[in-house]
Amino acid sequence: MSEKSEKGKFVSKDILNNALKDSFKKLNPKHMCKNPIMFLVELGCILVFILSAFPNLFGGTGNNRIYDFIIGIILFITILFANFAESIAEGRGKAQASTLKQTRQNTEAKLLDDNGNVTIISANDLKKGDIILIEAGDLIPNDGEVIEGIASVDESAITGESAPVVKECGGDFASVTGGTKVVSDWIKVEITVTPGESFLDKMIKLVEGAERKKTPNEIALGTLLLSLTIIFLVVVVTLYPMSNYLRVNISIATLVALLVCLIPTTIGGLLSAIGIAGMDRVTKFNIIAMSGKAVEACGDVDTMILDKTGTITFGNRLAADFIPVEGVNKDDLIKAALLTSLLDTTPEGKSVVELAAKMNITDSLDNYPGAEFIEFQAQTKMSGMDLKDGTRVRKGASSAVKEFAKSLGGDIPKDIDEKVEHVSKLGGTPLTVCVENKIYGVIYLKDTVKPGLVERFERLREMGIKTVMCTGDNPLTAETIAREAGVDDFVAECKPEDKIAVIKREQALGKIVAMTGDGTNDAPALAQADVGIAMNSGTTSAKEAANMVDLDSDPTKILEVVEIGKQLLITRGALTTFSIANDIAKYFAVIPAIFIIAIPQMKVLNIMGLSSPTTAILSALIFNAIIIPILIPIAMKGVKYRPMKSEMLLLRNVLIFGVGGVITPFIGIKIINIIITPLCRMLGIM
């Protein structure tokens, strides 16, 4: 079977086999005591098996050995199913971790000394602060920062993205990750971590679940379920002397069965799997969560802080229009602008060529043999082309182009300043174009909003999440982009400390705040936010400050992260509702069965019409066991999330999982009762 088809499966054959083995290994009381509810079921199981082996204990008559043994088997299977659910969740994480481990090779590193001499050493011997040389074809042995050189790095082993990423000294793209590969040129890297503590090592531990800690919500729910368990334990324990006083004979095995049916075993068996699966779903989106708490917090996010550049916009100002001055044909302006950009490899230059093509105007260098490209310089603030016949075509800052035209004896169009000011007011950048001493007009460059963001922000609004754009642009430009993108609010001329102030202001109002960032200047704000998502292409300090890292470096992916967080909370709440609701049906099966012989009037509560007290108890226990594996796919995949108000979401889940949790056991227990009644008659335990 292909790797692709294996990934498409809910669980692979290997995961299933390992989960079955782990289900038995987890029977160890040292592990079971971490889940008090299932540990109590295990103790009950052991007690019932002892009673079936030694029926005269506790004053027993020995008449119910087969009945006791069957109850013990059902309880044992219940525990195995709960362990199986947890093992499946862990198995999927370990499968992802094994894929990541393949990128870790015992590579060699080219260590540089103070004189620049190279020594070949094992990557495991590298220390924090070492300087290494990495050339084309070399694997990067550990995490670090580029301090010299520039190179293309293949990060597909970690991100799955085939396009190489350019890494260079300085800026926000100086961070490199161990396990990735340099595909061209060379770089010198300063190692920033010790072996075993790299980003890849942390990813493997987190994905495997080795460092997964229970979240506050999970702990709170666990405490609630434990409290309910203790209450029912007290009730069942006191029921034994009370029944003896009333001369109602209730066996120990029946009381254990009653306890297991009353306590929330379903959610108790699935709770750990739900938490592990939440981090697993985030990982499938190529996002590494540093803790389950981070994933859970995403579900409660009220405010989202987003950088403008690279998040909401592409970050490069691209050509949006050509605006000719009076007396100039627009096509002539486009042709002149196109000529200046044929050899311009900047994003702005390429965008001019693309926009001209969209307007059905194209050109080729073959038409201009001997032409020389004039690169942009800070001194001249212009770029362009010098043709073989001496014609000079330029584009650049308006002031520079006007001076250039004047120096050649040209006249300045009366409306050029108006055109330039118009573009500036729109929040764009004007590039003036001239051919020799004649000014043709203006190229309107704008920071383009990424497609689909308006719809994404609308979905966030439906979730009740406020979006705030932070940018260093002037208020006019910021307002234009904010309106076009559809964000709820914006902060212009924003400095790093301003981002922290915005986050603190929202938190002071009781809001849960999420933020994306990739630069060193974003690190303080990422640390302050409740959910900080750093880009893998960003700096080491940003990744260390955040509690999530996006391996694809796609800042807009925060929307999916929020939905996964909400899905985690909804799944846990929905299955808890289902677990408690289906106890209602079990009450109607077990309680009348226990007392119906001594108190015939309780027969009216046997609304399911179950065959006998014995089959009623066994049917309820069997249903209690098999519902756990039936719910594993829901626990793993999560309850489908739809953007809507919290009240509607609560009502929907109560109707589906609350009402469904009451109806399903009535049907299930009745069907099981019909199936096992003949078997019970055959065994003589009716």
Which residues are part of the catalytic machinery? Answer: 307
Q: How far is 281 from 262, CA to CA, in rounded Å?
A: 32
Cα radius of gyration rounded to whole Å, the chain:
34
Burial of 582 (0-12, 13-18, 19+ CB in 10 A): buried
Alpha-carbon distance values, 35 to 90, 94, 501 (Å): 16, 21, 42
Coil vs helix vs strand at 611: coil
Q: How far is 19 from 40, CA to CA, in rounded Å?
A: 22
Torsion of Cα atoms, 437 then 442 then 443 then 449, to 10°: 160
Q: How far is 52 from 64, CA to CA, in rounded Å?
A: 8
What does the block give as tokens for 609? 């019409």
Q: Are 598 and 663 in contact (CB under 8 A)?
A: no
What does the block give as tokens for 145? 């920062």
Q: How far is 549 from 291, CA to CA, in rounded Å?
A: 11
**Dihedral (CA of 461, 465, 468, 469) sign:** negative
Q: How far is 155 from 168, CA to CA, in rounded Å?
A: 15
Coil vs helix vs strand at 63: coil
Q: Are 441 and 323 in contact (CB under 8 A)?
A: yes
Q: Say if strands 118-122 and 108-112 run parallel, antiparallel, or are unpaired.
A: antiparallel
**Dihedral (CA of 294, 300, 305, 307) sign:** positive
> Residue 307: beta bridge partners?
470
- One DSSP character per residue, 451-487 reads TTHHHHHHHHHHTT-EEEEE-SS-HHHHHHHHHHHT-
Range 504-511 contact pairs with CB under 8 angstroms and sequence separation of 24 or more = 504/528, 506/302, 506/303, 506/468, 511/302, 511/303, 511/466
What does the block give as tokens for 161? 């993205």
CB hemisphere CA count around 330 (13 angstroms): 8
State the alpha helices, DSSP H only, in 246-285.
252-262, 265-284
Alpha-carbon distance values, 609 to 468, 615, 667 (Å): 60, 11, 12
Per the document, the length of the chain is 686
Range 396-402 contact pairs with CB under 8 angstroms and sequence separation of 24 or more = 396/431, 396/432, 397/431, 397/432, 398/430, 398/432, 398/442, 401/432, 401/433, 401/434, 401/439, 402/432, 402/439
Residue from 440, 537, 660 nearest 180 by CA: 537
> Residue 532: beta bridge partners?
515
